[in-house]
Structure 1
Amino acid sequence: MALFGRKKIVEEPEPVEPEPAPTLPEPPAPGASGMRIMEDHRDYLLSLVEPLPPFGMNLLDAWGLALCEDIDSETDLPAFDNSQMDGFAVRAADVAAATQGEPLVLPVVAHLAAGEAGSEALAEGSAIKIMTGAPIPEGADAVVPIEFTDAAAGQGGQEKVKVYEAVEEGAYVRRRASDIRDGDRLMHRGQVLDARSIGLLAGAGIDKVLARPRPRVVVVSTGAELVEPGRTISTPGQIHDANGFMIAAAAKAEGAQVWRVQVPSDDPETVREVIGDQLIRADLLVTTGGVSKGDHDVVKQVMPTLGLCDFAEVAMQPGKPQGFGLIGEDRVPMVMLPGNPVSAYVSFQAFVRPLIRRLMGVEPVGHTPVPCVAGSPMQSVKGKLQFGRAVVREERGRRVVDLVGGHSSHLLGDLAHCNALVLLDEDIDLVHAGDRVMVWRLDHD
């Protein structure tokens, strides 16, 4: 018999509040037009993306990438006194009296090439034949270029040499540390490695650097109407895929590692599957098309099922419909661009380019507006930031800009011939010839 016949009291577990579903941070408020301001939208996207983590890589692999460390020299450059010219190492005092009319003759006691140590000291009244870059021998304090001697005509320079011109002490000698001193700062954190800086680091004996990698960008063009370039258009309404190639090339120009994927379908499951398959190799996804309000704008329908999304109308023309998401378990950033070619390209410059540069840790992330003079009148529509395709030229010491073609978003020919985008602010409807306007140069950083 049980000691106690009372029933056990089972405590009910306290209810657990379900965790709130993750969401994107609050987007910026719309402007006076009811649409989002372009700069606000760009800054919002930038706030959701972090630079890629750095790692050590070989110099050539780091070309075009931003350094994540300060680098100081651990050597002098040059590391030793060496000859600036092919010629003869001498004591300047020994050739002080040399002239064209009365050359001095010196015995040549040794030959010294670049890379040779040169153990023989220079005796007074003699010369050592020396090649460019070879170390200055002990006892020498100047170099007589071969052009100042009979060796220039192939008549001497082996056992003895005639010197026709005097040289001062230190002439044609590259002094140790005359370029870089041990401990000098070679490169700063954030600097982008170009060919010249790579040459400097290599010359200082540095073969590896800490840098941010190239972002892996996957460009996905969507639409049942798309046909790969090179293939025949067989059905009325089909078009060749300009967007995918153009945006992929623009991403390559910014230093990204790029893959291009085409989804010639408006089937939601197909689009979802293709984009989902790309997440494993992408630091940034970029799609073109399917973000407006049409029945076949499938990207806008599908992406909220794969991640956190923000869709907005931005007060800009072209490029009003914009989408952004953090997709998949790893929250891969994704920019969803409109489908018209010019809209896609302008949107790339406004939003995707800054994100690529943020991932790379490069500053500035956006284009720096440059002042120009309008070469002819320009019309715009108030309430939107108008991006006009334009050509900038130099004229009498000033930058002059003219629009190219119209404002329509399908004009690829005009886009190909422009080298700038004119920024016509929301409150502007007319610019007169001679007025100051701001532009984004497409042929400059």
Structure 2
Amino acid sequence: MRPPFRRSVRGHLEAIEDLLAPALRGAGSEPVELGRALGRTLAGDLVAPRALPPWDNSQMDGYAVHSSDLGSGPLRVVAPIAAGQSAEALVRGTAAPIMTGAPMPAGANTVIPIEAADPDRFPTTAELSAGFTVGLPDSSPVGNYVRARGSDIAEGAPVLGIGTRLGPTALGVAAGLGLAELQVFARLRVLLLSTGDELVAPGGELGPGQIHDANTTLLHSALQAAGCDVTTAGVLDDSPADFTSSLSAALQAGGQPYHLVLSSGGISKGAFDVVKAVLGEHGIDFGSVAMQPGGPQGSGTLTLPGCAPVAFIALPGNPVSAYVSFEMFIRPVLAAGLGLPERVLTTATLTEDLESVPGKLQVRRGSHTGGTVTPVGGSSSHLLAALAASNALILIDEDTTTLPAGSDVQALIIGDGS
């Protein structure tokens, strides 16, 4: 086992970036139907395979005419053009009733809205057969109320760039271009596990000294929101032999190799910290980062006998420490590699006094609104209620020990944590 590391926050983030870079590059891409592509990330530039709209069409209900025929008196009305129909060429000196979205007939170059016609209605079938005429304004600009072919998107034009996170509007434009599927980055396959004999799954009965496992749900949700495909191994035993065999079985049970294994718990200086005790012999480095909460950290490439090498990140066991570690070290790397929205780092005015320890980045929970941030809960790393009530992380640098109310602080906006 190598000696424990001592890293700055920046140094540990760079170590995680280096660790996950091969996994992000190696995840590849896959085609996904539009209906299943919400939240996925485009794996290549999307170039329009056709123009949008694909042909000139009317923006209004009205009459399609040639502008040079206006001002010569009433025009004879010919057969109407409905949306979804082909249009015969317009005979000069006539006007064709045209509906919104219907294709412009060859020979017409402008549309007169029905409200500007005299009479301001379309003829009945009988009137049309009898030779209905309509009075129209003396002039109209060429292209008036005409949606030109390619006026939205020209054929061959770039539409969406690689790395675009696919939301409703991006999927809408893909559908408008007639695409049934898109090539997206494959999801990072993550094996998630917790450790601790004191942990019981939610819904289970607690025995003496036991607590419910919050970390699995917390981190599973965070990983899913970050675009990962997550498999949960549950809470693994605290005995070294059982932990090793359970981890080996979980790694081999997935059918496909994982890109990342993420654990929480068992990495501090306790006598029963099994993750540190076992995996320090299999490629994982452990140590401390100058951050509170979330000081104990582990990372490296796991080389467990019988299993393919895999990136492994070990987070501390307290829920707030685990989540803060995810936000500070894992999500930024996933965001850069998978096109997630970046967290906003802003300057806010502190509403209360705060104390901090020297030599460490202090990460406190807070409520951010209107340019101010209010601390929520204390500094302890078990305060789940304070975490749930927060929409920001207050970042206090290593050299600051006292911040009076009214001070400017850095706030990382996490919203609802998605």
Shift of 1:194: 3.0
Greater Rg, structure 1 or structure 2?
1
TM-score (norm 1): 0.80
What secondary structure sits across from 1:249 in the alignment?
A: helix
Q: How far, CA to CA, are the matches of 1:379 and 1:113 in structure 2?
A: 71
Match of 1:41 among 5, 8, 12: 12
Aligned with residue 291 of structure 1, among 267, 286, 290: 267
For the Cα contact (< 8 Å) 2:27–2:188, is it kept in 1? no
2:317 alignment counterpart: 339
Alignment of 1:207-226 (within 5 A): 207-226=180-199
Matches within 5 A, 1:157-196: 158=125, 159=128, 160=132, 167-196=140-169
Is 1:131 aligned to residue 99 of structure 2?
Answer: yes
Q: 2:89 aligns with which of 114, 117, 121?
A: 121
Quote the Cα distance in structure 2 between the aligned partners of 1:255 and 1:121: 51
Whole-angstrom distance in 2 between the partners of 1:303 and 1:94: 85
Note if 1:145 corresponds to 2:113.
yes
Structure 1: where are the runs of 5+ without partners? 1-22, 98-103
* CA apart distance, 1:41: 0.6
1:225–1:264 CA contact under 8 A, matched in 2:
no
Residue correspondence of structure 1 range 399-410 to structure 2 within 5 A: 399-410=371-382
Letter in 2 for 1:39: R
1:380: which partner in 2?
A: 356
Query: Residue 351 of structure 1: SS of its match in structure 2?
Result: helix
- Is residue 96–residue 167 contact of structure 1 (8 Å, CA) maintained in 2? no
What is the percent sequence identity of the aligned residues? 39
**Matched-pair contact (CA < 8 Å) for 1:245–1:260:** no
Asked if 1:55 corresponds to 2:29, the answer is yes
Inter-partner Cα distance in structure 2 for 1:144 and 1:441: 51
Matched, 1:109 2:83: no
Amino acid corresponding to residue 111 of structure 1 in structure 2: P
Q: Which residue of 2 aligns with 1:14?
A: none
Work out the number of aligned pairs and report it: 400
Aligned equivalents of 2:354, 2:10: Cα separation in 1? 23
Q: What does residue 60 of structure 2 align with? A: 85
1:164 Cα deviation from its structure 2 partner: 7.4
- Select between 411-420 and 326-335 the one with higher mean Cα deviation: 326-335
Superposed displacement of residue 47, structure 1: 0.9
The 3-state SS of whatever aligns with 1:369 is strand
Q: Report the equivalent of 1:263.
A: 235
What whole-Å deviation, never above 9, does each CA across 1:125-171 have from its counterpart, x for those lacking one?
4332323222101122222334545897x774653575676754322
Question: What TM-score results when the alignment is normalised by the length of structure 2?
Answer: 0.85
2:173 to 180, 183, 200: 200
Measured at CA, do residues 221 and 121 of structure 1 come closer, stay the same or move farther in structure 2, by a change above 3 Å? Answer: same
Moved more, 405-414 or 264-273: 264-273
1:312 to 284, 287, 294: 287
RMSD over equivalenced CA pairs, Å? 2.9
**1:30-62 per-position Cα deviation (integer Å, ceiling 9, x unaligned):** 7xxxx4111101101211222234234135255
1:263-291 CA-to-partner distances (Å, cap 9, x unmatched) read 26322233222222232432211111111
Alignment of structure 1 residues 352-363 onto 2, 5 Å: 352-357=330-335, 360-362=337-339
Q: Which runs of 5+ in 2 are unaligned?
A: none
1:237 paired with 2:215, answer no
Give 3-state SS (helix, strand or coil) of 2:163's partner: coil
The 1:163/1:192 distance shift into structure 2, 3 A limit, reads farther
Alpha-carbon distance, 1:214 to partner? 1.0
Q: Deviations over 1:273-325 (max 9, x none)?
A: 222223243221111111111122111122235x3101011111101111113
